[in-house]
Structure 1
Amino acid sequence: MNYLKDVYQNLELREDIKILEDYLKTVYLKQGISNRSLATNLALPIPIVVAIKNEFKKIGFIKQQSGIRLTKLAIEYVEQQLGYHVFENSLVQKIVKNDFSLELDFKFELELLQKIFSQRPAADVTLDQAKATPETSLHRALLAVQNNSLLGKNILCLGDDDLVSICLGMLLKKLSQKVAAKQAKITVLDIDRRILTYITKIADQYQINLTTKEVDLRTKAEVELRHEYDCLFLDPPYTMTGLELFLESGISFLKSAGQQTIFLAMAAKYPEFKLKSQQLFTQLGLVIKEIKPAFNQYEGAEIIAGQSDMIILETTAQSTTLNRKLLLAKSKQKARPIYTGECNIKQRLYQCKTCGQIYLVGSQSKFETITALKKQGCFNCGQHIFDLKRSNLKGDN
């Protein structure tokens, strides 16, 4: 019997059916919760929460006893059908309530991650990579628990130099009392083969079940992955064109039915960029559920001041249709540059101090850095000392 479907049809809610699943999971983790607290947890008006409770009462799922509680039938449903029987619930409750400590509750995992992160490939700045701290990546994985986007979900990491996939896998192993591999499907798509190789190596070493695939979103649509995923982690390039491409591609990978979650790490750039970003969200039928300022911390990453915001987005019924129209329109356009080094082409002219020969140094030049030019030396006289003549900055994304 499809209990949720029957209840949903009786209620005629504007919200997605997923809200009923969230309701049951919240009561399961917080037996005796009040209507007011449920309304706060689910971001619903109290009358709607009461209406849901009454419908669940009719099918024997809810009882009123020192607050709202699940019946034995409902507990069995949450554990068997929604998969919560495999979880260590006391820790899940702490995570959901945001009442956990990384240093205490995840001491072993954090120490392990610090070792793993210290050995990951160097950041490729031409791909706008920046090394997130282990604490940041683990906090991202914990967000999946807090937003009902981990257990039993198909999760996609679109670009993962921050190793969020590894953190998700470790979190599943810690929380699960049974085989974690059956509780979620984790997929990583990335353009950087070094990152994928390292993720696969770590996953094999620590028995984390995930899949990796080398993908360049600019050249291939990955049609076979369309509408497969419930949840999406994104840390896109720092440009507007990069944000557009990653969001548009990401939405195409999310399931079209229901309300899916996107965890977007985005640098807090100048106001005009933020405005364009919000306009893009609207254009794609996305709603902002929450913004966590300075949530992501990075090693170095001066271009974004060593930090970025976490924006939690949710798809709507219009997202797939709107996104399909955009993708169709852009499929006829020439691929645009998406990385900072491509969009903001910074070049400088250097002159050999001995013979006066001029050299162009910077992005899309023979010598990308003055260090490379000095190492090669002047082609004309062989000397290695150069003076800066002028710089030229093109583009602004």
Structure 2
Amino acid sequence: MHNNTHKLPDPMPEPSVRHYVAGGTEHGGGIGRLIGYILASHPQNSHDHRVTDTRGPRWDKLRSPFILWGAMALMIKDRLVAPGRVHHLHIAGRGSTARKLVLGACARTLGCTHVLHLHDFDYAADFLRRPIWQRRAIRALFRGADRVIVLGERDRATATELLGVPPRSIGVLHNAVPDPQQGRDAPAKTQATAPQADPQGTPCKIVFLGQLGPRKGVPELLSALAHPNMQSLNWSAVLAGDGPVDEYHAEAERLGLLDRVSLPGWLGSAETRALCERSDILVLPSHGEGMAMAVLEGLAHGLAVVTTRVGAHEEILRDWETCLFVPVGDVEALANALGNLVAHPEMRAKLAQAGRAHYLNALSIDAYVGKLDALHRSVSQGALQRVPTQRGAA
């Protein structure tokens, strides 16, 4: 008898990926934190994701060029020993673009499969401020990538209209964070029953996460916390982030806020999680974002979120349903929004519940990683099909 059973071909293995990010996962800000979440979410040994720092810590400028050269050396080595590796370049404006121009040119010269992942609060403005010769180089960088990933529709328009990237080469991928309650026997935080407002009871805890500075709306936030609407309410606040901490500490002291406001500086992932678990409101009155990781952290932890209509926020959030939106730079509106949530626990609980449910339905890290893996597979397979053409062109 003949066995007519045909063995199916083995599925294509998951591609190996190298991420390039300034500061790596330790000093890379929100981008570095996102990559850390991607690495942690993959089952052990099932995927090969590596991270390469392209700059080092912000304060170590002397070593920065050598770190970039080291990243280029790794790319050259990969081309020789792991030619199928996908090189994932995370890019923002300013110095990040300069570094990725170097790495992108290296990738194109070597014939490396590479992806550009745009994370920026206003890349169009950064691009238009540059001289014409730099704009040409940036357009070549984006057009030369095998795929461009953006955080939302505004950035998709920037990539197509300003940078000339073909629409078929662009993918929209909103940021994500892991579920802080996953794998626990009981939820770390529940808003199922809202406490009654009690001026003498436990203070409502407000948290801000991000780099301290005007772009994140920190001056307005301090002014809002010092607003008369907030003075009689029972609350405390933590403004966690790097930047000119001493400067904002002095401003908080000038406004008479140090008895209720603390500024601990930058916090690691574990410290951030612990802070969110004991907080009630996440506030980010930012002037510009791509898709703020802090907002996602707030939703995931079941906090009531107060933020602004910037970047992709309006694509994923609904005012008075999953967050409260306030106008950029409006101290009065910010103070009113925070005051209402502090004074009305039932409103705070309703907003937090809806935000948490929306996170679980649409913004989980598992769904994000699945989409990212599919994109890497697609890019890797397309590169294999183009190998003869690339060799001929070389």
TM-score scaled by structure 2? 0.30
Task: Please say which structure displays the higher CA radius of gyration.
Answer: 1
Give the structure with the larger strand fraction: 1
TM-score scaled by structure 1? 0.30
